[in-house]
Structure 1
Amino acid sequence: MAKQNIFDNETFFEGYKAIRDREGNANDLFEIPALFSLLPNLKGTSVLDLGCGFGEHCVEFVNKGASKVVGIDISEKMLEVAKKEHSNPAITYMLLPIEDIEEVEGKFDVVISSLAFHYVEDFEGVVRKIYDKLNTDGCFIFSQENPINTTYCGGIPRWTKDENGKKIYVNLANYAREGERESEWFVEGIKKYHRMFSTIINTLTENGFIIEKMIEPIPTEEILERFPDQEDLFHKPDFLLIKAKK
């Protein structure tokens, strides 16, 4: 089965990079701080980063004491940036889809992934491989689009608004219809995969993991003062983060 590699599309890549470079983007405000809050003490550990992108996280893992970091990504464009801007003797970058992590040698103390699993069709298959890749008592930490977001597949407006255009509430539909969603973001035909919260949790526990913590980040008062539009997240958090232990 061909793996989706939308990040090597030039239009998508440039659009995505522009968003990540913008001050006050949701990744910097919410997803990254939440992800790093779930990390254990990394001193002397080995870390496998699934969907490592530009490699910023890999460098930060080394800065936090990791002795070995392997970052894999399906995107050649992403890895070009990673090798150029975020190289380190302790980091190895590999051009590899998440679904093929059995090709990475050795086991790891921490497997981590930032905003990649909503692009993965066979979530259970990857979870089983991650379990096998972890050392005893190792942990698996990941973020993904919140299922309230992945359920959206077009056809209806995402928001109901008042006469002044203010968002009143989210229109939720087809939440229990799991599977592929196709959307447009910079380019058409982006495939994401929707799973209910219960499916995500049960897939982890049925394959040997113990759930330690979940986070759905929402804005603080300080963030709202600077970026009042982020109040939307009280209607629907953008992200779901989970820390699980082997």
Structure 2
Amino acid sequence: MTASHNDLSQQNVYDDPDFFEGYKTLRQKDSGLNGTLELPAIRALLPELSHLNVLDLGSGFGDFARYARAKGAAHVTGIELSTRMLAEAQRLTYDPGINFQHTSMEDFATDDNIYDLVVSSLALHYVEDYSGICRKVYKMLKPSGNFIFSVEHPVCTAWPVGWITTEAGEHWPLDNYHDQSIRHTQWFINDVVKYHRTTENYVNTLLGCGFTLRALSEPQPTDEALAKRPKLVKHCRRPPFLILKAQK
């Protein structure tokens, strides 16, 4: 395991004990939208994983790394800044084909043209230099390699106050959409910092780095999911996630 020289300069909210315990409980109970919407949407965009060399930026508990190996990936490297998340991933993983590294995605460095697939799940909205990450990923990927990532949808990050209730019902407000700047939000703890970007920014930055856009997904609950969890119906009214697939 390697440690970055610049870890403390990056946001590391997942090492806050209260945040970590809240997030861990959410994921273990699958009581959030990750398992219902985001995860199936990412998997639907994946190429055949057999024999691929894969990089997971913000690998968390290592769920995707283990999934990719189960589907035949030759090797998976997981990049994770949070020591708490990393320790849990290592506790859950018994596979020499998976290598977790303690560093930020901003500081991670490797050779050019080495990965077949780079993925990132709900991590890039915590990163200030999105364009820098895209340029780095482009260099890391082999020709025709894929970059697949999810972020909180810009509709949600624009004015992240959550649902509001009026006489007309429950609504998700949208404001300051074109103000691409830091947002200070509350999620398990106060003052979680996220970076709001427009959908245009997410897409055009990829194109400007040389990628070809292959897919754009804004998943909503399926009929099957709604039958099991009727309360998910409000998530049909605004997209929680934006998922992009780009190819070198």
TM-score over 0.5 for the pair:
yes
In the alignment, the residues of structure 2 paired with residue 37 and residue 86 of structure 1 have an alpha-carbon distance, to the nearest angstrom, of 24
Contact 1:24 1:227 in 2 (8 A): no
Partner of 1:139: 146
The Cα shift of 1:101 comes to 2.4
In the alignment, the residues of structure 2 paired with residue 13 and residue 152 of structure 1 have an alpha-carbon distance, to the nearest angstrom, of 24
Contact 2:207 2:213 in 1 (8 A): yes
One-letter amino acid matched to 1:132:
K
Partner of 1:215: 217
Matching residue within 111, 117, 120 for 2:124: 117
Q: Deviations over 1:153-212 (max 9, x none)?
A: 44xx7434336xx42x32210001001000111111110000000011000001000010
- TM-score norm. by structure 1 comes to 0.93
Compared CA separation, residues 42 and 23, structure 1 to 2 (3 A) = closer
In the alignment, the residues of structure 1 paired with residue 198 and residue 175 of structure 2 have an alpha-carbon distance, to the nearest angstrom, of 12
Structure 1: gaps of 5 or more residues: none
Give percent identity, aligned residues only: 39
In the alignment, the residues of structure 2 paired with residue 210 and residue 186 of structure 1 have an alpha-carbon distance, to the nearest angstrom, of 37
Report the more deviating stretch, 80-89 or 116-125: 80-89
- TM-score norm. by structure 2 comes to 0.92
- Please state whether the residue corresponding to 1:101 is helix, strand or coil: coil
Contact 1:181 1:191 in 2 (8 A): yes
Compared CA separation, residues 104 and 115, structure 1 to 2 (3 A) = farther
Q: Deviations over 1:29-67 (max 9, x none)?
A: 111111111110111110000000000110110111111
- Please state whether the residue corresponding to 2:109 is helix, strand or coil: helix
Alignment of 1:62-73 (within 5 A): 62-73=69-80
Partner of 2:27: 20
The Cα shift of 1:104 comes to 7.0
Alignment of 1:20-169 (within 5 A): 20-103=27-110, 107-154=114-161, 158-162=163-167, 166-167=169-170, 169=171
The Cα shift of 1:87 comes to 3.0
In the alignment, the residues of structure 1 paired with residue 210 and residue 165 of structure 2 have an alpha-carbon distance, to the nearest angstrom, of 41
Contact 1:59 1:87 in 2 (8 A): no
In the alignment, the residues of structure 2 paired with residue 49 and residue 5 of structure 1 have an alpha-carbon distance, to the nearest angstrom, of 17
Q: Deviations over 1:48-106 (max 9, x none)?
A: 00000000110110111111110010011111111111231101100010112225787
The Cα shift of 1:234 comes to 2.0
- Please state whether the residue corresponding to 1:71 is helix, strand or coil: strand
Report the more deviating stretch, 80-89 or 140-149: 80-89
Contact 1:101 1:129 in 2 (8 A): no
In the alignment, the residues of structure 1 paired with residue 35 and residue 123 of structure 2 have an alpha-carbon distance, to the nearest angstrom, of 16
One-letter amino acid matched to 1:53:
G
Contact 2:112 2:139 in 1 (8 A): no
Q: Provide the alpha-carbon RMSD of the alignment.
A: 1.6
